[in-house]
Structure 1
Amino acid sequence: MTTLDLPGAKSDLDNYRTERSFLGADHQRNERRTWIVAAICAVTLAAQVTGGLVFHSMALTASGLHMGAHVAALLTAAGAYALARRYAVSRRFAFGTGKFGDLAGFANAMVLGVTAILIAVESVQRLRTPERVDYGSALPLAVAGLAVTLVCVWLLRPRGPAQDLNISAAHLHLSADAFAGGLAIAGLAAGQRFGWAWADPLAGLAAAALVAQFALSLIRRTAANLLDMNPSAELTAEVRTRLEAQGERVSDLHLWRLGPGHHAAVAVVVADHPLPAAAYHARLSGLEGLSHVTVEVRGADNVLCQS
C-alpha cells in the first residue's frame, strides 16, 4: 500500500507546509479577520445589552445576547485558527489540523441554537408580561448595532473557492444577527408608531426562529465533515474514472475532507495486468482538491500486488 500527497489546493503558510499540513489557502488572513471582527463585536455587545436593559427593549436585548454569542463564536473560531496553525506539523494528528475549523464551527452552531432558545423563552415572557419600552432611545441604538453588524458581515465574507467552514460559521452568525437586528428595528418602529406593545417581543421571537434555522443548517454542514461523509460525488466519480482508465476496476474507494480545499482518497484497484501503484497516483496528479492518496493494487485473482 503506498501513499502520496498530491498537489491540490496549497496552503500559503510556507513555515508550516509539510506532507501532512492541510490548512486552507487563506488560513492566516481568515485568522486575522476573525480577531478584528471579534473586537468590534465585543464593543457592540456592551452597547446593546446596556441599552436593552436601560430602555427595557426585548428586541434590543435579544440582539445584544445574540451578539454575545457572536463574540464567543468569533473567539472560538480565532482560537481554532491559532491552534491549527500551531500544531500543523505535529505528528499527533495523522491527517493534519485542517478539521480544527470544522470542530469550532460545530461548537458555534450548538451555541447559536442555545441562543435561539434563550431569546425565544424571554420573548414569550415579554409577550405575556409586556414592559414599557423607551422607543426613542432604543431605536437609534438598534440601527447603530445593525450598521456595525453589516460591516462585520462584509469583513468576514468568505473568499476563494475553498470552503472554510470555520469562517463560514462566523459569517453565518453575523448574518443571522443582521436579520435579527432588522427585525428588532421593525418591532421597535411598529411599537413607537402604532403603540403595539407586543411588536417588540414578537420581533424577538421571530429572530429566535431565524437563528434556530441558521444553527441547524450549520450543524448539518459541520457534522458531515466531522463524521467523514463523502464531501463530493463529482470528485469521487472523477477519481474512479481516472483509476479505471485502462480497464481496471476500483473495488473500494473512500473520499473524505481533510481541511479547506483538501481531500484524501483511499482506493483498491483490481487489474488483470496491474501497474505499479505510482502509475495510478500519476493518473490522479493535478486533480483539484485532492491532496492525499493511498492506493492498494491487486491482481484479477485478488492477490495483493503492492502493499
Structure 2
Amino acid sequence: MTQPLNLQTQIDAFRGDRTYLGADHARNERRTWIVAAICVATLVAQLAGGIIFHSMALVAGGLHMGAHVAALAVAGIAYAVARANARDPRFAFGAGKVGYVAGFANAIVLGVTALLIAIESVQRVLQPETVDYHGAIGLAAAGLAVNLVCVWLLRPVHDHAHDKDGDLNLSAAHLHLSADAVVSALTIAGLAAGDWLGWTWADPIAALAGAALVGHFAWRLIVRAGAVLLDMNPSQDLTETVRGRLQDPETQVLDLHLWRLGPGHHAAVIVLAAAHPQAPAAYHARLNGILGLSHVTIEVRDLRTA
C-alpha cells in the first residue's frame, strides 16, 4: 500500500508490556536485600575488629563494606521504585532507568569511600600503629569468605547480565562485592607480611591498593550509568543491524536514533525515505526478531519529494 505524498506516518511497536524492566527483576531485587543483610553483619564485625586489633586494613574493609550496604540499599529501593512505577504513565518510556540512576549514585559514593580510605591509609603509613596481626588475619579471612558467598548470591542468571545490556543494579552490586573480595585478599596479604616479615607498612599499603581498586571500579560504574542517563548510543552493532534491515536500493535511512530504556530494552526513532513508500508496518516487520529492540517509531517519507 503506497502512502500519500508528504504524509508522515508513525508506528509504535511494543514487545511485551511497556515496563522495560530486566528479565530477572524480582529475583535480583530479592537477592540484593539478602546480600545487604549479610553485609550489615560483616560491616559491624570488621569495624569492631579493626578498632580492637588496630588494623587499618580491617577498618578500610569495614568502610568499604559500609559503602556496599549503602549501595545495596539504594539498589534494592531502586528495584522497588521501578516495579511500583512500571506502568505509571508519567514515565514516557517506563521506569527501566531507575536502576541506572541508583547505579550512578552508588558509583559516586564508592568513589568518595575510596578517597577516604586512601587518605587514612597514607596517614597510617606516616604514623604507623601496632597491629594485632593474628586476630586481624582471622577476621579478614572471615570477611573474604562472606564476600565470596555474596558474590555467588549475586551471580547473574543469564549470560548477558554482566554485559552492557544487562541489569546495572545487579552488575554494580556484583562488581562491588567482587572488588571487596580482592580488597580482602590484599588485606590478608598485608597483615601476613606484617606478621611474618615485620613489614609494618604492608597493612596500610594493602589498604591503599584496595582504595585504588575501588576507585577504578567506581569510575567504570560512573561511565556506564552516565552513558545510559545521557541517552548515548548503547550499541553501534545494534544500530547497524537496524539500518541494514531497513535500507535497500529504494529505501534510505535519513535519521536513526537508538537509546536504552532499561536492562535489555532499547528504543529507536527512525526516519525513512523511499522511492515507493510502503505502510510503516511493512518496514517495522523487517525489524522483527532483533533481540532487545522493544520500542520502535518509524516515519516514512516519499523519496521523490524528500
Q: Which amino acid aligns with 1:138?
A: A
Q: Percent identity?
A: 66
Question: Where does residue 223 of structure 1 map in the other structure?
Answer: 226
Contact kept, 8 Å, 2:10 with 2:300, in 1: the verdict is: no
Q: Which amino acid aligns with 1:86?
A: A
Question: Where does residue 281 of structure 1 map in the other structure?
Answer: 284
Aligned residues: 293
1:32 aligns with 2:35: no
Question: Where does residue 2 of structure 1 map in the other structure?
Answer: 10
Question: Where does residue 302 of structure 2 map in the other structure?
Answer: 299
Task: After TM superposition, give the deviation of residue 217 of structure 1 in Å.
Answer: 1.0
Question: Where does residue 149 of structure 2 map in the other structure?
Answer: 151
Cα offsets for 1:214-246 (capped at 9, x unmatched):
111111111111111111111111111111146
Q: Which amino acid aligns with 2:94?
A: G
Task: After TM superposition, give the deviation of residue 287 of structure 1 in Å.
Answer: 1.3
1:84 aligns with 2:87: no
- Cα distance between partner residues in 2 of 1:249 and 1:30: 42
Question: Where does residue 134 of structure 1 map in the other structure?
Answer: 132
Q: Which amino acid aligns with 1:5?
A: A
- Cα distance between partner residues in 1 of 2:109 and 2:152: 22
Task: After TM superposition, give the deviation of residue 3 of structure 1 in Å.
Answer: 3.0
Q: Is there any run of 5+ residues in structure 2 with no aligned partner, and where?
A: 1-8
Contact kept, 8 Å, 2:256 with 2:271, in 1: the verdict is: yes
Question: Where does residue 54 of structure 1 map in the other structure?
Answer: 52
Contact kept, 8 Å, 1:80 with 1:100, in 2: the verdict is: yes
Question: Where does residue 15 of structure 1 map in the other structure?
Answer: none
Q: Is there any run of 5+ residues in structure 1 with no aligned partner, and where?
A: 11-17
Report the 3-state secondary structure (helix = DSSP H, G, I; strand = E; otherwise coil) of the residue aligned with 1:253. strand
Task: After TM superposition, give the deviation of residue 302 of structure 1 in Å.
Answer: 4.1
Equivalent in 117, 121, 124 of residue 122 of structure 2 = 124
Report the 3-state secondary structure (helix = DSSP H, G, I; strand = E; otherwise coil) of the residue aligned with 2:273. strand
- Cα distance between partner residues in 1 of 2:128 and 2:38: 32
Contact kept, 8 Å, 2:11 with 2:281, in 1: the verdict is: no
Q: What TM-score, normalized by structure 2, do the two folds share?
A: 0.93
Equivalent in 49, 62, 65 of residue 64 of structure 1 = 62
Q: Which amino acid aligns with 1:219?
A: I
CA RMSD, Structure 1 to Structure 2 (Å): 1.1
Q: What TM-score, normalized by structure 1, do the two folds share?
A: 0.93
- Cα distance between partner residues in 1 of 2:240 and 2:76: 35
Q: Which amino acid aligns with 2:134?
A: G
Contact kept, 8 Å, 1:262 with 1:289, in 2: the verdict is: yes
Task: After TM superposition, give the deviation of residue 138 of structure 1 in Å.
Answer: 0.8
- Cα distance between partner residues in 2 of 1:73 and 1:5: 35
Equivalent in 253, 257, 262 of residue 256 of structure 2 = 253
- Cα distance between partner residues in 2 of 1:74 and 1:151: 15
List 4+ stretches of structure 1 deviating above 6 A.
none
- Cα distance between partner residues in 2 of 1:101 and 1:256: 15
- Cα distance between partner residues in 1 of 2:127 and 2:278: 76
Contact kept, 8 Å, 1:6 with 1:286, in 2: the verdict is: no
Question: Where does residue 3 of structure 2 map in the other structure?
Answer: none
Report the 3-state secondary structure (helix = DSSP H, G, I; strand = E; otherwise coil) of the residue aligned with 2:286. helix
Contact kept, 8 Å, 2:19 with 2:96, in 1: the verdict is: yes
Q: Which amino acid aligns with 1:114?
A: V
What does residue range 127-206 of structure 1 map to in structure 2 within 5 Å? 127-160=125-158, 161-162=160-161, 163-206=166-209
- Cα distance between partner residues in 2 of 1:159 and 1:168: 11
Contact kept, 8 Å, 1:34 with 1:78, in 2: the verdict is: yes
Question: Where does residue 4 of structure 2 map in the other structure?
Answer: none
Report the 3-state secondary structure (helix = DSSP H, G, I; strand = E; otherwise coil) of the residue aligned with 1:284. coil
- Cα distance between partner residues in 1 of 2:89 and 2:26: 21
Contact kept, 8 Å, 1:274 with 1:298, in 2: the verdict is: yes
Contact kept, 8 Å, 2:101 with 2:225, in 1: the verdict is: yes
